[in-house]
Structure 1
Amino acid sequence: MALSNIPKIIYGTAWKKDQTKALVIQAILQGFRGVDTACQPKHYREDLVGEALAELYEQNRVSRDNVFIQTKYTPIGGHDRSQPIPWLDSYLLHSPLDTPAHTEEAWGTLCDLRNEGLTLEFLQSIGKVDVVQNRWYEGNAWDVQVHKYCLDHGIVYESFWTLTDPSHDDHHARKMPLSNLPKIIYGTAWKKDQTKALVIQAVLQGFRGIDTACQPKHYRYTPIGGHDRSQPIPYDPSAPIPTQVRTSFEKSLSNLRTTWLDSYLLHSPLGTVAHTKEAWGTLCDLRNEGLVQRIGVSNTYDTQTLELLQSIGKVDVVQNRWYEGNAWDVQVHKYCLEHGIAYESFWTLTGSPSLFRHPLISNIAESKKATNAQIVYKFAQSLGIIPLTGSTNEQHMKDGLESENLDIGEHIGELKGLIGH
């Protein structure tokens, strides 16, 4: 997907809570075609974003190919750790071990063993294996050795990908030029239980980009420091970083009811450079495997970090606060423009009240029969920025989408002066 193909505005789903589904539906129906979320229950209801999109697909209101979905891995600090960690539900152990610590250690080891292709004999030496669930398909030569081992040792062998061709387009991220990304994206943070309804609303309004996260605390991979410890964490925080990222990614695919993602972001750099490099390398692997089209990072305000990531693998997306409080993030925004990186903004309106209420903005809005918000959005888009909007108001959703059609070219010079450009 080229930068110009990302929606020009994205609907954000953070903090929407139980309204998430209704608001996503509303946003899509209004015309949003980009949605942002996160696998972080502390602030996001990524599952309700998935419910909203599934309902819209079923009703033929929108197709998967027409919606830009963006979610995130949240490092452990961003999760609520007082809630049960749901990772045991997705994988098989013979039984839990004698202590939670040993169980967590065994689980991390099993993930490593699966990823590293180590033998079943090793697992049998720890305790009887009752069930193996593997891909059984032509791509792994029908898993002959493992299947035979199971037959020889009385182990139940369960298969998946039994019918499905894993190379089918439905299982790989679509190729979309940068120029086709939505110009605005609907964000789902803090929508809570409204998430499903709001995502449906946003898509029906016309949004074709959605941002979310596997982070129940606010909605996005988020480092563990960003998670609310009273909410479920979508991975084992004691596991290796690559395992955390992949577990969060799989949870996001499940929540969003899809087999691939348009965009997958680190919610923030991790606590150390080494861990950040590990996490970023895993995102690069997911992109190389065709499971995600674009990868990026959020909450990153120094170009040195971007240079570090770029040395490992291309950064496709940066999602940052773009507001008066950080002097409009000039250096990172400039870096993104120079390196073909999509720059997405949040706090675009709420973080800059003096810009929003400036007489110049109001005068332009009046002359264009538009709102102040529309002028700010269009100004951001004119600078190559893709704003996230998380409105719960149907009219505001429409306004955000329609901002792309405004012509403010004769005022760009004056507007740049307001932010010191």
Structure 2
Amino acid sequence: MPALDRARTLAQTSAGIAIAMGIMNIATYAFTMLATYLLGPKDYGALIAAMNFLIVVSVLSLGLQATAARRISADRGHVAQIERSIMRVTYRAAAALGLLLLALTPLIDRMLRLDSLPTTALIAVSAVPLTIMGGQAGILQGERRWAPLGLVYVAAGLPRLVIATALIVLAPGEFTALLGVTIGFFAPAVVGWWVLRGGRQAGDASPEHGGTAILKESLHNSHALLAFFALSNVDIIVARNVLSDHDAGLYAAGLIISKAMLFLPQFVVVVAFPAMSTAHERRRAMVRSLTLIAGLGVLGTLAAWLLAPLAMVFAGGADFSEIQPYLWLFAILGTLLSMIQLLVYSVLARRGRWTVLAVWAALAVVVSVGLMQDTLLGLLTTVVAADAVLLVLLLGATVHVLREQATSAPVAAPVA
């Protein structure tokens, strides 16, 4: 069947992973959009606060994924050892994180103002499969096995849409919504286990890929990603503390556009990261990726400005109409964050150490200045300005590093 063969071939390419991640993101935002209609501003604001906190918690998962992908891309001779070590560290880290979050449930509940310990406890449960998925996805990403990785990403979106939406319809509320999200997180972990279930022939072993070394690198990567995801999600927490429940709900609805602009080009990061881990592919991968993200950002911002009434359909509808004049600003915010995300991953790919301090500084600015705001527009402007300055700093640092590497690279001998 030629059509089936073409579909299989497409699934095994970078275009296939782009389609799979597109399905995941569309399903995620379809659920987010439906939740705005089914829950209303108050319950929706609580759900988004919990889900944004889960995004911050996912830094351990993403740290494990980046570690696995980088090590496998850079050392193809020890794939079997890396896979075993990664999954051993992953399972232990998932259990430890889940127990830690469960112990911190009262503190998290107060910080997010959920006023429901059972709802907050679901965050701890969600963290376990979410972390496991990271180790699995990193192995597939490092080997550039795009078709199985695509299945994992599709499983991360569609079950959440179906299960969580059904539970909200049956019993509207933040607990049932987050319960559906939690159940959905187990689907990609199961798919990841299935595609990696076959035994791999043992190869050479290296002390460099032992459990301790992998854990150290994963924690470093998680620290860098924690800075980024804290920066990209702290504004909703600030909003819930300085704005009224109504305005915080409006801000959360505007963030639907920001998150769309952040995650729409996420496939670029996934495909580019293995290339950014190798010195001879790094420069071209960076230039192409930044150009593509910037182009998508310009198109998305123009669409949010010129087609604002249509964009409101995806940002909550008539109940959230007060946010319509600012949708283009939320689109700019998402584009800035997407480009910052790529630059942070480029630091992880080349094992950089100090650039992440700039991300923490930007986070401090957003929190300190944001807490002094008392209007939605004031908070939004503060966040956009801080992220814009951070992007310029990271771009400058990246250009400097790439020029130094190009200067220090050995000149190849002429070939007869």
Structure (1 or 2) with the greater strand fraction = 1
The structure with the larger Rg is 1
Scaled to the shorter chain, the TM-score interval is under 0.3
Structure (1 or 2) with the greater helix fraction = 2
TM-score of the superposed pair, with normalisation by structure 2: 0.20
